[in-house]
Amino acid sequence: MTKILRVLLASVGVLCATAALCPASATSNTGIVYCVNGEVNTFNPQLASGGVIVDTLSAQLYDRLLDVDPYTFRLIPALAERWEVKDEGSTFIFHLRRDVSFQHTAWFTPTRPMNAEDVVFSFARMFDKHHPWHSINGGHYPYFDSLQFADSVQSVKKIDTYTVEIKLVHPDASFLWHIATHYAPILSAQYAQQLSDERQQERLDRQPVGTGPFQLSEYRSGQFVRLQRNPHYWKGVPRLRQVVVDLGAGGTGRLSKLLTGECDVLAYPAASQLTILRDDPRLRMTLRPGMNMAFLAFNTRRPPLDNVEVRKALSLAINNERLMASIYYGTAETAASVLPRASWAYDNDAKVTEYNPKAARQRLEQLKIHDLHLKMLVPVASEPWNPSQLKTAELIQADLARVGVHVDIQPVEGRFQENQLMAMNHDLTLGGWSTDSNDPDSFFRPMLSCAAIESGTNYAHWCNEAFDDTLHLALLSQQLSGRIDYYRQAQQILAQQLPILPLASSLRLQAYRYDIKGLVLSPFGNSSFAGVYRDASNGETP
């Protein structure tokens, strides 16, 4: 995210000048307060690599062409009511819904329904490097850049008012799953034209206009985002008048807010807090398997970590079972692969890295590695894949110290981590990946492809042509069995080369007040709050 965009985002912050403007005030009867630890660098998920905009806000502000059913894991219609696949998987025709309105905001009033022009604009901006909007606010689209879609999409064109054709250079069996992610929102071309006329194009990504159930009302940097319901929402008017996303507290601070009623929903509570949450009759909790992965990434461009034998030796020193007990408290399973076990391409023969500190020390001695000092970048925010990243880092630090390796932990905020990762002066980093796609490609390419280095999502800075070629062959295959075979080969390459050490695949946790109803927890990412409501008849207790 560019420095200019961050400054512009801060400029739309609304000061909490009176008690009525603060998140918890005047909300209990009209909406909910959703507490999550994070920061907002943009309101457009096209420009994001994760975080609050993707995990929380995107489903409220925007819709996509397709959605993923959180229970069946199947693609379902959204803004496209139906679609066709032609030319052996290289041409896709989308038939759009009619009478879908964009949001009416203080900065934009639409004069027509959503149509093909909006879809063409939304995708052409990302995929066409010569598009006049491609470079606005930085020109970086981390998720799709990591997939090299700018090179693989041949054309995006309007067939008629409510029909769009997207043609690829080569067949891609994963394409529909990628455009069903929250990284592919449908934006308003009419709003973009208005901003062009006003020569204020940068506002597109900081003053959002979508077709989602809620629209931006107020934002205060680092504190809260207030959303108000979209009365023109095509699925029906949301039951809540407003949703306040409280960004300002982490760890025990968020738990305290939930217990005192200042928060109605607590996203990603720490596993160590489960006993407190379960014992409180005013609260409910949901747990679901998650499509996520926590990992330790080795910077494979820096010696001695450019040596795979050194990476394997360090991995033997890490006590993953202790991580499971001390960080997840039974809410995750030890990872043996980059893919979660719920993935249809998971390799059942994959083995969890052995914990053997004696062997680790012996290997380091054989490699003549002595008095090794490493720097580890560690994000401070809790994430779906890891509720306590600093504690995880400290445990890994202690494990490596037992084999004579000194680790300096450097805590970093989200956007600063991106900058420091690209600067390449780190040795290790804790990371993770979560996707709202059931396709394995949404793990492999964004995390570990050569293209993902430049997009900033390949934390290991690892590039392997055989791995990339295997992923490409998997996309060309129209048979599921063929794709599974290729992805098994990909997992075997990763096990041999070990650019990252998979740590855990975590359950998704969410705690909320007893009177909150209709809250769906998706294994893929955030869910719309359109169907959420407060049942006053139940009060605070069962």
Do both 238 and 313 map to the same domain? no
Do both 335 and 476 map to the same domain? yes
**Mean predicted lDDT score pLDDT of the chain:** 89
pLDDT given at position 414: 59
More confident residue, 291 or 66: 66
Considering the domain boundaries, does residue 276 fall inside one?
Answer: no
In this prediction the pTM is: 0.82
| In contact, 524 and 70? CB cutoff 8 Å | yes
pLDDT given at position 251: 56
> Using alpha carbons only, what angle is made at residue 98 by residues 97 and 101, rounded to the nearest 5 degrees?
100
pLDDT given at position 335: 92
Count of structural domains, the chain? 2
Considering the domain boundaries, does residue 273 fall inside one?
Answer: no
- The CA distance from 16 to 19, in Å, is 7
Do both 55 and 177 map to the same domain? yes
Convert the pLDDT of each residue in 185-198 to its tens digit. Answer: 999 999 999 999 99
Considering the domain boundaries, does residue 48 fall inside one?
Answer: yes
pLDDT given at position 10: 43
Count of H helices and E strands in the chain?
A: 19, 20
Q: Span 244-272, mean pLDDT? A: 83
Do both 214 and 78 map to the same domain? yes
Q: For residue 235, how many other CB atoms are within 10 A of its CB?
A: 15
Do both 35 and 127 map to the same domain? yes
Domain range for 317: 292-506
More confident residue, 227 or 385: 227
Do both 108 and 176 map to the same domain? yes
Convert the pLDDT of each residue in 486-505 to its tens digit. Answer: 999 999 999 999 999 999 99
Q: Span 240-247, mean pLDDT? A: 95
Do both 10 and 105 map to the same domain? yes
pLDDT given at position 356: 97
Least confident of 87-101, 361-375, 513-527: 513-527
> Using alpha carbons only, what angle is made at residue 309 by residues 305 and 313, rounded to the nearest 5 degrees?
90
Considering the domain boundaries, does residue 214 fall inside one?
Answer: yes
Dihedral pair phi/psi, residue 150, rounded to 5°: -60, -25
> Using alpha carbons only, what angle is made at residue 270 by residues 379 and 213, rounded to the nearest 5 degrees?
80
Query: What's the CATH number where 399 sits?
Result: 3.10.105.10
pLDDT given at position 539: 46
pLDDT given at position 416: 55
Least confident of 29-33, 178-182, 324-328: 29-33
Considering the domain boundaries, does residue 521 fall inside one?
Answer: no
Q: For residue 499, how many other CB atoms are within 10 A of its CB?
A: 25
Q: For residue 93, how many other CB atoms are within 10 A of its CB?
A: 16
Do both 182 and 328 map to the same domain? no
Considering the domain boundaries, does residue 13 fall inside one?
Answer: yes
Considering the domain boundaries, does residue 35 fall inside one?
Answer: yes
Specify the residue for token string 């996309």. Answer: 475
Query: What's the CATH number where 127 sits?
Result: 3.90.76.10
Give the DSSP H or E segment for 285: strand 283-289
Check pLDDT > 50 for residue 417: yes
Do both 352 and 476 map to the same domain? yes
Q: Are strands 80-86 and 91-96 parallel, antiparallel or unpaired?
A: antiparallel
Do both 219 and 362 map to the same domain? no
pLDDT given at position 436: 75
Do both 211 and 302 map to the same domain? no
Check pLDDT > 70 for residue 415: no
- The CA distance from 403 to 355, in Å, is 12
Q: For residue 83, how many other CB atoms are within 10 A of its CB?
A: 18
Do both 409 and 490 map to the same domain? yes
Q: Span 278-285, mean pLDDT? A: 91
| In contact, 480 and 441? CB cutoff 8 Å | no
Convert the pLDDT of each residue in 363-380 to its tens digit. Answer: 999 999 999 999 999 988
- The CA distance from 338 to 445, in Å, is 11
Considering the domain boundaries, does residue 79 fall inside one?
Answer: yes
